[in-house]
Structure 1
Amino acid sequence: MKKTEMKMVIKEVLEESAHGESIVEAAIRCFDRFGVAKTTVDDIAAEAGIARATVYRTVSNRDHLYSVVSYKILGDIAAEIKPIVDRQADFSTALIRGSIESVRRFRASKVGMLLLEATGDLGVERFLIDPQSPVVNHMLLVFRETFKRAREGGALRRDLSDREAAAWIRSFIFILVLSSNLSKKEQESAIRKFLIPSLVTPP
């Protein structure tokens, strides 16, 4: 599936399909109850109260379902993180708090972590980290006002677009998510050493 097609298909499933939202919510409950690998289409259909064929008409395959569920989970986390980021007084602090809270909340998502751990073909990892992934839209939502203030104050590098900055923040956050051995203090240290210098205008 091409990247532009993937973006549209995810949008259609969550926003335009008559059964998309119920299928995704049912899949999340089934993944939580049975695990990702053991959940079947029949399980999801029964949980959603729809026919098996309706699931197949809405999501094209298992990887597609994983991507849509991941997108939904990340969207919910982004909505929780945005007020925290918006409250920060400066760009660097917003990057630190937003990144650490994103890592904490994603790790606390049982289904999100199950999807990362259960996909042998790295499909979900590619979906989460690919620069063109629609997941970048969630980071744009979280940091839009922060980027605006940072540009007005000269803190955000002028040679970076908002989308480029959001894509890099998203990728860095998932590096931290996958680095499960890092403490909160070590996460902050990595953000200060690598993420902040890559985005902030040098003195």
Structure 2
Amino acid sequence: MSTVPTHDDSSLPAVPPEVVAAARRCFARYGVDRVTMEDIAREAGIGRTGLYRLGLAREQISQAAILDKARELVQTLRPDLERDLPFADALVEGSMTVLERGLGDEELNHLVDTCKSVDMHTLMGGPNPTMRALADQLLGPLLHRAADRGELRAGVDLSLALDWIRGVYVMLWLRSDLTARDRRAFIEDFLVPSLAAQR
């Protein structure tokens, strides 16, 4: 397992996998903002001084735990996004699967609900390179296939399209007042027309 980068600044250290795993176990038990660095160090078996020697900040570890969980979720979601459907249908059904699976994931929601130190909108919808790479793994093949088939609106930049879709997903995910039907309507009425070629 590779280390988890958490920031655009490459001068910051990545979080070792054993620390991420230990943090996730602690967060699951107590909630992100109740866990101390000592708790994580003890769980990781490296001691508090060892954790600080790595140069890690608490927010970095919290972000790394969320990104690690997101990576796991993406791997389970990829088969749903790879179904050979027309682009508009694939985007609607794939988006609904992503949102419903994310909203139904107990650990991810626990991390988001209890992690006050991390700006979730920036982490999940902003320029974080890990989250961008995960979005590309999940949605890149769908967008490339649509472009090859002429199903994508002319002139769409695929990198910007990925950022746009992520932003929509974050908005729909964080809106607790929306029903599944509401989310589907947003995707069908606004997301799909913004990207799909006119039929």
TM-score class, shorter-chain normalisation, is: 0.7 to 0.9
Q: Is the 8 A contact 1:127 1:133 kept in 2?
A: yes
1:51 aligns with 2:22: no
Q: 2:140 aligns with which of 136, 140, 144?
A: 144
Could you list the runs of 5+ residues in structure 2 that have no partner in the other structure? Answer: 1-5
Q: CA deviation at 1:3?
A: 5.6
* 1:178 alignment counterpart: 174
Q: Is the 8 A contact 2:59 2:118 kept in 1?
A: no
1:4 corresponds to which letter in structure 2? Answer: D
* 1:65 alignment counterpart: 61
Give the direction of change, closer, same or farther, for the CA distance of 1:22–1:168 in structure 2 (3 Å limit).
same
* 2:160 alignment counterpart: 164
Q: CA deviation at 1:160?
A: 2.3
Q: Identify the range of structure 1 (69-78 vs 104-113) with the bigger mean alpha-carbon deviation.
A: 104-113
- Tell me how far apart the structure 2 counterparts of residues 100 and 58 of structure 1 sit (CA, whole Å): 40
* 1:78 alignment counterpart: 74
Q: CA deviation at 1:84?
A: 0.6
Could you list the runs of 5+ residues in structure 1 that have no partner in the other structure? Answer: 14-19
Q: Is the 8 A contact 2:33 2:116 kept in 1?
A: no
The DSSP-based 3-state class of the residue aligned with 2:133 is helix
Q: CA deviation at 1:75?
A: 1.0
* 2:125 alignment counterpart: 129
**How many residue pairs align between the two structures?**
193
Superposition RMSD in Å: 2.2
* 1:38 alignment counterpart: 34
Q: 1 or 2, which has the higher helix percentage? A: 1
* 2:3 alignment counterpart: none
Give the direction of change, closer, same or farther, for the CA distance of 1:143–1:31 in structure 2 (3 Å limit).
same
Q: Percent identical across equivalent pairs?
A: 26
Q: Is the 8 A contact 1:42 1:52 kept in 2?
A: yes
The two structures have a TM-score, normalised by structure 2, of 0.86
Per-residue CA deviations over 1:153-189 (Å, capped at 9, x if unaligned) read 1111232222211111111111111112222222111
- Tell me how far apart the structure 2 counterparts of residues 121 and 45 of structure 1 sit (CA, whole Å): 19
